Amino acid sequence: MKKTLQFAALAGGAALILAGCASAERPASDPADSAAQTAPAGPRIAVAYEGGVLVLGGDDYENLGEFDSEDFIRLNPAGDGRHVMVTTSKGFQLLDVQEPELTDLVVPADTAGHVVSHAGKTVLYDDATSDTTIFDSAELAKTGDALPEAEVIPGVTAHHGVSVELEDGTLLTTVGDDSGRTGIRVLDEDRNEIATNDECPGVHGEGTAKDEVVVFGCENGALVVKRGEITKLTSPDVYGRMGNAYVSEKSPLVVMDYKDDPDAEGYLLRNITLIDTEANTLEKVALPEGVEYTYRGVGRGPDAEAVLIGTDGKLHTIDPATGEVVSSLAVVDPWEGPAEWQDPHPSVKVAGSFAYVTDPADREIVVVDLDADTIAKTVKLDHVPNEIAAVG
Protein backbone atom coordinates (compact mmCIF):
# COMPACT_ATOMS: atom_id res chain seq x y z
CA MET A 1 0.00 0.00 0.00
CA LYS A 2 1.13 3.51 -0.79
CA LYS A 3 1.32 6.02 2.03
CA THR A 4 0.88 9.71 1.24
CA LEU A 5 2.09 12.44 3.58
CA GLN A 6 1.22 16.12 3.47
CA PHE A 7 4.22 18.22 4.51
CA ALA A 8 2.39 21.54 4.96
CA ALA A 9 2.43 21.45 8.75
CA LEU A 10 5.80 19.75 8.99
CA ALA A 11 7.53 22.35 6.87
CA GLY A 12 6.68 25.24 9.17
CA GLY A 13 7.70 23.34 12.28
CA ALA A 14 10.95 22.21 10.74
CA ALA A 15 11.74 25.74 9.67
CA LEU A 16 11.37 26.96 13.25
CA ILE A 17 13.73 24.26 14.45
CA LEU A 18 16.19 25.03 11.67
CA ALA A 19 16.23 28.71 12.56
CA GLY A 20 17.90 27.83 15.85
CA CYS A 21 21.08 26.65 14.13
CA ALA A 22 21.10 28.25 10.70
CA SER A 23 19.44 31.38 9.43
CA ALA A 24 17.49 31.10 6.18
CA GLU A 25 16.97 34.86 6.05
CA ARG A 26 18.94 37.07 3.69
CA PRO A 27 21.42 39.48 5.24
CA ALA A 28 20.57 43.14 4.82
CA SER A 29 23.36 43.56 2.29
CA ASP A 30 22.23 40.58 0.22
CA PRO A 31 21.47 41.48 -3.42
CA ALA A 32 18.81 38.78 -3.76
CA ASP A 33 15.82 41.08 -3.00
CA SER A 34 16.49 43.28 -6.00
CA ALA A 35 17.84 40.42 -8.11
CA ALA A 36 14.58 38.49 -7.65
CA GLN A 37 12.80 41.14 -9.71
CA THR A 38 15.38 41.18 -12.51
CA ALA A 39 16.98 37.74 -12.23
CA PRO A 40 18.69 36.96 -15.52
CA ALA A 41 17.68 34.01 -17.66
CA GLY A 42 20.11 31.16 -18.16
CA PRO A 43 21.74 28.54 -15.97
CA ARG A 44 21.90 28.55 -12.20
CA ILE A 45 24.84 27.30 -10.17
CA ALA A 46 24.52 26.73 -6.43
CA VAL A 47 27.85 26.78 -4.58
CA ALA A 48 28.28 25.55 -1.01
CA TYR A 49 30.94 27.11 1.19
CA GLU A 50 31.70 26.91 4.88
CA GLY A 51 28.67 28.45 6.58
CA GLY A 52 26.50 29.11 3.56
CA VAL A 53 25.43 28.74 -0.04
CA LEU A 54 25.42 31.18 -2.94
CA VAL A 55 23.65 31.21 -6.29
CA LEU A 56 25.24 32.25 -9.58
CA GLY A 57 23.04 32.97 -12.58
CA GLY A 58 22.78 34.14 -16.15
CA ASP A 59 25.31 33.94 -18.94
CA ASP A 60 27.77 36.00 -16.87
CA TYR A 61 27.23 33.89 -13.74
CA GLU A 62 26.68 36.90 -11.54
CA ASN A 63 26.14 36.48 -7.80
CA LEU A 64 22.37 36.51 -7.30
CA GLY A 65 22.40 35.90 -3.56
CA GLU A 66 24.18 34.40 -0.57
CA PHE A 67 22.46 32.61 2.30
CA ASP A 68 23.65 31.51 5.73
CA SER A 69 23.57 27.80 6.49
CA GLU A 70 25.61 25.19 8.35
CA ASP A 71 29.38 24.72 8.14
CA PHE A 72 29.08 21.69 5.84
CA ILE A 73 26.14 21.18 3.53
CA ARG A 74 25.52 19.04 0.48
CA LEU A 75 23.77 20.11 -2.71
CA ASN A 76 21.65 18.14 -5.17
CA PRO A 77 19.36 19.36 -7.97
CA ALA A 78 15.75 18.53 -7.17
CA GLY A 79 15.04 17.65 -10.78
CA ASP A 80 12.27 20.23 -11.12
CA GLY A 81 14.32 22.96 -12.85
CA ARG A 82 13.79 25.30 -9.91
CA HIS A 83 15.14 23.90 -6.67
CA VAL A 84 18.31 22.49 -5.18
CA MET A 85 18.05 20.27 -2.11
CA VAL A 86 20.38 21.53 0.60
CA THR A 87 21.28 18.72 2.96
CA THR A 88 21.51 19.94 6.55
CA SER A 89 21.38 18.37 10.01
CA LYS A 90 17.60 18.89 10.00
CA GLY A 91 16.80 17.37 6.63
CA PHE A 92 16.43 18.49 3.02
CA GLN A 93 15.97 22.27 2.73
CA LEU A 94 14.69 23.76 -0.52
CA LEU A 95 16.88 26.37 -2.20
CA ASP A 96 14.97 28.18 -4.94
CA VAL A 97 17.70 29.00 -7.45
CA GLN A 98 15.36 30.93 -9.76
CA GLU A 99 14.27 33.60 -7.25
CA PRO A 100 16.79 32.98 -5.58
CA GLU A 101 15.84 32.18 -1.99
CA LEU A 102 16.83 29.68 0.68
CA THR A 103 13.28 28.85 1.70
CA ASP A 104 11.95 27.85 5.10
CA LEU A 105 10.66 24.59 3.62
CA VAL A 106 12.39 21.50 4.98
CA VAL A 107 11.65 17.83 4.45
CA PRO A 108 12.62 16.52 7.90
CA ALA A 109 15.20 13.73 8.03
CA ASP A 110 17.33 12.53 10.93
CA THR A 111 20.19 11.76 8.54
CA ALA A 112 19.44 13.22 5.13
CA GLY A 113 21.16 11.21 2.42
CA HIS A 114 20.86 10.66 -1.31
CA VAL A 115 18.65 12.69 -3.65
CA VAL A 116 17.68 11.04 -6.95
CA SER A 117 15.60 12.60 -9.71
CA HIS A 118 14.28 10.44 -12.56
CA ALA A 119 11.10 10.01 -14.60
CA GLY A 120 9.48 13.11 -13.14
CA LYS A 121 10.03 12.03 -9.53
CA THR A 122 12.26 13.49 -6.83
CA VAL A 123 13.32 10.79 -4.36
CA LEU A 124 14.84 11.51 -0.94
CA TYR A 125 16.43 8.95 1.37
CA ASP A 126 16.80 9.18 5.16
CA ASP A 127 19.72 7.02 6.30
CA ALA A 128 18.57 7.08 9.94
CA THR A 129 15.26 5.36 9.14
CA SER A 130 15.78 4.06 5.56
CA ASP A 131 12.51 5.82 4.70
CA THR A 132 12.05 6.89 1.08
CA THR A 133 10.12 10.09 0.29
CA ILE A 134 8.87 10.61 -3.27
CA PHE A 135 7.65 13.92 -4.72
CA ASP A 136 6.20 14.60 -8.13
CA SER A 137 8.88 16.90 -9.54
CA ALA A 138 6.37 19.04 -11.46
CA GLU A 139 4.40 19.65 -8.27
CA LEU A 140 7.61 20.44 -6.40
CA ALA A 141 8.35 23.12 -9.01
CA LYS A 142 5.02 24.81 -8.15
CA THR A 143 5.84 24.95 -4.44
CA GLY A 144 4.65 28.07 -2.65
CA ASP A 145 4.32 28.36 1.12
CA ALA A 146 4.04 24.60 1.66
CA LEU A 147 5.47 21.46 0.17
CA PRO A 148 3.25 19.26 -2.01
CA GLU A 149 2.06 15.85 -0.89
CA ALA A 150 4.61 13.07 -1.02
CA GLU A 151 4.58 9.30 -0.88
CA VAL A 152 6.58 7.98 2.05
CA ILE A 153 7.73 4.36 1.93
CA PRO A 154 8.83 3.17 5.38
CA GLY A 155 12.24 1.58 5.53
CA VAL A 156 12.97 -1.90 6.86
CA THR A 157 16.27 -1.36 8.69
CA ALA A 158 18.32 1.82 8.79
CA HIS A 159 21.42 2.10 6.62
CA HIS A 160 23.16 4.49 4.24
CA GLY A 161 21.07 3.81 1.16
CA VAL A 162 19.36 5.10 -1.95
CA SER A 163 16.12 4.61 -3.89
CA VAL A 164 14.96 5.35 -7.44
CA GLU A 165 11.50 5.14 -8.98
CA LEU A 166 11.05 4.14 -12.64
CA GLU A 167 8.46 5.38 -15.13
CA ASP A 168 6.03 2.54 -14.42
CA GLY A 169 6.14 3.12 -10.65
CA THR A 170 8.64 0.35 -9.90
CA LEU A 171 10.87 1.25 -6.95
CA LEU A 172 14.44 0.05 -6.53
CA THR A 173 15.86 0.48 -3.03
CA THR A 174 18.93 -0.72 -1.15
CA VAL A 175 19.02 -3.22 1.70
CA GLY A 176 21.22 -3.11 4.78
CA ASP A 177 21.46 -2.63 8.53
CA ASP A 178 23.96 -1.50 11.16
CA SER A 179 26.19 -4.47 10.34
CA GLY A 180 26.50 -3.62 6.65
CA ARG A 181 24.77 -3.13 3.31
CA THR A 182 24.04 -6.21 1.25
CA GLY A 183 21.95 -5.56 -1.87
CA ILE A 184 18.70 -4.24 -3.28
CA ARG A 185 14.95 -4.86 -3.39
CA VAL A 186 12.59 -4.24 -6.30
CA LEU A 187 9.04 -3.17 -5.42
CA ASP A 188 6.12 -2.87 -7.82
CA GLU A 189 3.87 0.20 -7.98
CA ASP A 190 1.81 -1.17 -5.06
CA ARG A 191 5.07 -1.58 -3.10
CA ASN A 192 5.05 -5.36 -3.11
CA GLU A 193 8.47 -6.98 -3.37
CA ILE A 194 8.98 -8.63 -6.77
CA ALA A 195 12.75 -9.21 -6.81
CA THR A 196 15.74 -9.04 -4.50
CA ASN A 197 19.51 -9.57 -4.54
CA ASP A 198 21.86 -9.91 -1.55
CA GLU A 199 25.11 -10.37 -3.49
CA CYS A 200 26.21 -6.74 -3.33
CA PRO A 201 28.31 -6.10 -0.21
CA GLY A 202 28.68 -2.42 0.59
CA VAL A 203 26.04 -1.45 -1.97
CA HIS A 204 26.33 2.26 -2.68
CA GLY A 205 25.26 4.71 -5.32
CA GLU A 206 22.80 4.46 -8.18
CA GLY A 207 22.63 5.48 -11.81
CA THR A 208 19.98 5.13 -14.51
CA ALA A 209 21.22 4.59 -18.05
CA LYS A 210 19.42 4.29 -21.39
CA ASP A 211 16.10 2.36 -21.40
CA GLU A 212 15.89 2.70 -17.61
CA VAL A 213 18.61 0.21 -16.87
CA VAL A 214 19.79 0.91 -13.33
CA VAL A 215 23.20 0.14 -11.85
CA PHE A 216 24.31 -0.08 -8.21
CA GLY A 217 27.91 -0.33 -7.03
CA CYS A 218 29.23 -3.13 -4.80
CA GLU A 219 32.58 -3.85 -3.12
CA ASN A 220 33.08 -6.71 -5.57
CA GLY A 221 31.27 -5.53 -8.70
CA ALA A 222 27.94 -4.05 -9.62
CA LEU A 223 24.26 -4.93 -9.93
CA VAL A 224 22.48 -4.20 -13.22
CA VAL A 225 18.68 -4.06 -13.12
CA LYS A 226 17.03 -4.44 -16.50
CA ARG A 227 13.26 -4.90 -16.92
CA GLY A 228 12.98 -6.22 -13.38
CA GLU A 229 15.82 -8.73 -13.74
CA ILE A 230 18.90 -8.30 -11.56
CA THR A 231 22.32 -9.30 -12.91
CA LYS A 232 25.52 -9.31 -10.85
CA LEU A 233 28.71 -8.24 -12.65
CA THR A 234 31.92 -9.21 -10.85
CA SER A 235 35.01 -7.06 -10.36
CA PRO A 236 38.32 -8.30 -11.82
CA ASP A 237 39.82 -7.95 -8.31
CA VAL A 238 38.73 -9.70 -5.11
CA TYR A 239 38.14 -6.21 -3.73
CA GLY A 240 36.96 -3.96 -6.52
CA ARG A 241 34.67 -1.32 -5.07
CA MET A 242 32.35 0.83 -7.14
CA GLY A 243 30.40 3.42 -5.18
CA ASN A 244 29.33 6.09 -7.67
CA ALA A 245 27.74 5.76 -11.10
CA TYR A 246 28.16 8.46 -13.74
CA VAL A 247 25.44 7.96 -16.31
CA SER A 248 23.72 9.44 -19.32
CA GLU A 249 20.13 8.44 -20.00
CA LYS A 250 21.02 8.59 -23.70
CA SER A 251 23.67 5.87 -23.42
CA PRO A 252 23.79 2.22 -22.29
CA LEU A 253 27.41 2.78 -21.23
CA VAL A 254 28.03 3.55 -17.56
CA VAL A 255 31.20 4.93 -15.99
CA MET A 256 31.84 4.16 -12.32
CA ASP A 257 34.64 4.89 -9.90
CA TYR A 258 36.89 1.99 -8.84
CA LYS A 259 38.97 1.23 -5.76
CA ASP A 260 41.06 -1.94 -5.69
CA ASP A 261 42.90 -1.52 -2.37
CA PRO A 262 40.75 -1.62 0.77
CA ASP A 263 43.70 -0.42 2.86
CA ALA A 264 44.64 2.54 0.67
CA GLU A 265 44.87 5.83 2.51
CA GLY A 266 43.19 8.96 1.23
CA TYR A 267 40.45 9.42 -1.35
CA LEU A 268 42.29 9.51 -4.65
CA LEU A 269 41.48 6.87 -7.28
CA ARG A 270 43.51 5.81 -10.31
CA ASN A 271 41.10 3.51 -12.18
CA ILE A 272 37.60 3.76 -13.59
CA THR A 273 35.01 1.12 -14.42
CA LEU A 274 33.22 0.83 -17.75
CA ILE A 275 29.91 -1.06 -17.78
CA ASP A 276 28.01 -1.91 -20.94
CA THR A 277 24.43 -2.48 -19.79
CA GLU A 278 23.41 -4.01 -23.12
CA ALA A 279 26.19 -6.60 -23.17
CA ASN A 280 26.32 -6.92 -19.34
CA THR A 281 30.08 -6.45 -19.27
CA LEU A 282 32.36 -4.75 -16.74
CA GLU A 283 35.90 -3.55 -17.44
CA LYS A 284 38.50 -1.91 -15.19
CA VAL A 285 40.53 0.78 -16.96
CA ALA A 286 43.66 2.51 -15.64
CA LEU A 287 43.95 6.26 -16.14
CA PRO A 288 47.14 7.76 -17.65
CA GLU A 289 50.14 8.04 -15.37
CA GLY A 290 49.83 11.00 -13.02
CA VAL A 291 46.04 11.30 -13.32
CA GLU A 292 43.99 10.57 -10.20
CA TYR A 293 40.57 11.78 -9.12
CA THR A 294 37.93 11.60 -6.38
CA TYR A 295 34.26 10.62 -6.35
CA ARG A 296 33.38 14.29 -7.06
CA GLY A 297 35.49 14.41 -10.17
CA VAL A 298 33.47 12.74 -12.94
CA GLY A 299 30.46 13.76 -15.06
CA ARG A 300 28.85 13.00 -18.41
CA GLY A 301 28.80 15.46 -21.30
CA PRO A 302 26.17 16.32 -23.93
CA ASP A 303 27.25 13.42 -26.17
CA ALA A 304 27.41 10.99 -23.24
CA GLU A 305 31.20 11.33 -23.08
CA ALA A 306 32.80 11.16 -19.65
CA VAL A 307 34.63 14.18 -18.26
CA LEU A 308 37.06 13.84 -15.36
CA ILE A 309 38.96 16.49 -13.43
CA GLY A 310 42.34 14.98 -12.63
CA THR A 311 44.97 15.82 -10.04
CA ASP A 312 47.07 17.10 -12.94
CA GLY A 313 44.63 20.01 -13.16
CA LYS A 314 43.23 18.95 -16.53
CA LEU A 315 39.66 18.19 -17.51
CA HIS A 316 39.93 14.94 -19.44
CA THR A 317 37.32 13.82 -21.95
CA ILE A 318 37.02 10.02 -21.95
CA ASP A 319 35.36 7.66 -24.42
CA PRO A 320 32.96 5.58 -22.25
CA ALA A 321 33.24 2.61 -24.66
CA THR A 322 37.02 2.24 -24.44
CA GLY A 323 38.23 4.38 -21.54
CA GLU A 324 40.54 6.26 -23.91
CA VAL A 325 41.32 9.87 -23.05
CA VAL A 326 40.42 11.70 -26.26
CA SER A 327 41.26 15.25 -25.14
CA SER A 328 42.60 17.14 -22.14
CA LEU A 329 42.22 20.79 -21.17
CA ALA A 330 44.16 22.52 -18.39
CA VAL A 331 41.62 24.23 -16.14
CA VAL A 332 43.15 24.43 -12.63
CA ASP A 333 46.55 24.00 -11.03
CA PRO A 334 47.65 20.47 -10.09
CA TRP A 335 46.24 19.47 -6.71
CA GLU A 336 46.52 16.87 -3.98
CA GLY A 337 43.77 14.71 -2.52
CA PRO A 338 41.68 15.91 0.45
CA ALA A 339 42.50 14.85 4.00
CA GLU A 340 38.77 14.18 4.57
CA TRP A 341 36.15 13.50 1.91
CA GLN A 342 34.19 16.58 2.98
CA ASP A 343 37.13 18.93 2.42
CA PRO A 344 37.02 21.30 -0.57
CA HIS A 345 38.83 19.96 -3.62
CA PRO A 346 38.28 20.25 -7.38
CA SER A 347 35.02 18.73 -8.56
CA VAL A 348 32.92 18.83 -11.72
CA LYS A 349 29.23 19.08 -12.56
CA VAL A 350 27.77 19.12 -16.07
CA ALA A 351 24.61 20.85 -17.28
CA GLY A 352 23.86 20.98 -20.99
CA SER A 353 27.07 21.52 -22.92
CA PHE A 354 28.95 23.17 -20.04
CA ALA A 355 31.09 21.67 -17.29
CA TYR A 356 31.54 23.57 -14.04
CA VAL A 357 34.82 22.89 -12.23
CA THR A 358 35.45 24.13 -8.70
CA ASP A 359 38.87 25.58 -7.93
CA PRO A 360 39.10 25.94 -4.13
CA ALA A 361 42.75 27.03 -4.24
CA ASP A 362 41.94 30.15 -6.27
CA ARG A 363 38.32 30.59 -5.10
CA GLU A 364 36.93 30.19 -8.61
CA ILE A 365 34.45 28.29 -10.75
CA VAL A 366 35.86 27.44 -14.18
CA VAL A 367 33.18 27.14 -16.87
CA VAL A 368 34.17 24.85 -19.74
CA ASP A 369 32.37 24.76 -23.09
CA LEU A 370 32.47 21.04 -23.83
CA ASP A 371 31.43 21.48 -27.47
CA ALA A 372 34.35 23.83 -28.14
CA ASP A 373 36.73 22.23 -25.60
CA THR A 374 37.65 25.66 -24.27
CA ILE A 375 37.31 27.65 -21.06
CA ALA A 376 34.27 29.87 -21.54
CA LYS A 377 34.53 31.85 -18.33
CA THR A 378 36.26 31.96 -14.95
CA VAL A 379 34.06 33.15 -12.09
CA LYS A 380 35.76 34.71 -9.08
CA LEU A 381 34.22 33.99 -5.67
CA ASP A 382 34.45 35.53 -2.21
CA HIS A 383 34.40 32.08 -0.62
CA VAL A 384 36.18 28.76 -0.98
CA PRO A 385 33.81 26.60 -3.05
CA ASN A 386 32.99 23.13 -1.86
CA GLU A 387 30.08 21.22 -3.41
CA ILE A 388 28.14 22.63 -6.38
CA ALA A 389 24.89 21.87 -8.17
CA ALA A 390 24.03 22.97 -11.71
CA VAL A 391 20.47 23.64 -12.90
CA GLY A 392 19.60 24.44 -16.51
Contact between residue 321 and residue 274 where contact means Cβ atoms under 8 Å apart: yes
Residues 255-276: tens digit of each pLDDT: 999 999 999 999 999 999 999 9
Q: What's the whole-number average pLDDT of the chain?
A: 92
The amino acid at 218: C
Residues 332-383: tens digit of each pLDDT: 999 999 999 999 999 999 999 999 999 999 999 999 999 999 999 999 999 9
Q: What is the mean pLDDT of residues 74-98?
A: 98
Contact between residue 182 and residue 176 where contact means Cβ atoms under 8 Å apart: yes
Dihedrals φ, ψ of 164, to 5°? -145, 140
DSSP 362: G
Scanning the chain, the segments in alpha helix (DSSP H) are 8-19, 32-38, 137-141
Contact between residue 268 and residue 293 where contact means Cβ atoms under 8 Å apart: yes
Residues 311-345: tens digit of each pLDDT: 999 999 999 999 999 999 999 999 999 999 999 99
Confidence (pLDDT) at 2: 55
* Of residues 109, 103, 68, 114, the one with CA closest to residue 89: 109
Label the pairing between strands 171-177 and 180-187.
antiparallel
Residues 126-171: tens digit of each pLDDT: 999 999 999 999 999 999 999 999 999 999 999 999 999 999 999 9
Residue 36 has pLDDT above 50, yes or no: no
Q: Which residues of 274-305 are buried (b: 16+ CB within 10 A; e: fewer)?
A: bbbbeeeebebeebeeebbbbbbbbbbbeebb
For 316, half-sphere exposure in the C-beta direction (CA atoms, 13 angstrom radius) is: 23
Confidence (pLDDT) at 40: 87
DSSP 211: G
Contact between residue 246 and residue 254 where contact means Cβ atoms under 8 Å apart: yes
The amino acid at 30: D
Comparing 40 with 44, which gets the higher pLDDT?
Answer: 44
25 confidence band (pLDDT: 50, 70, 90): very low
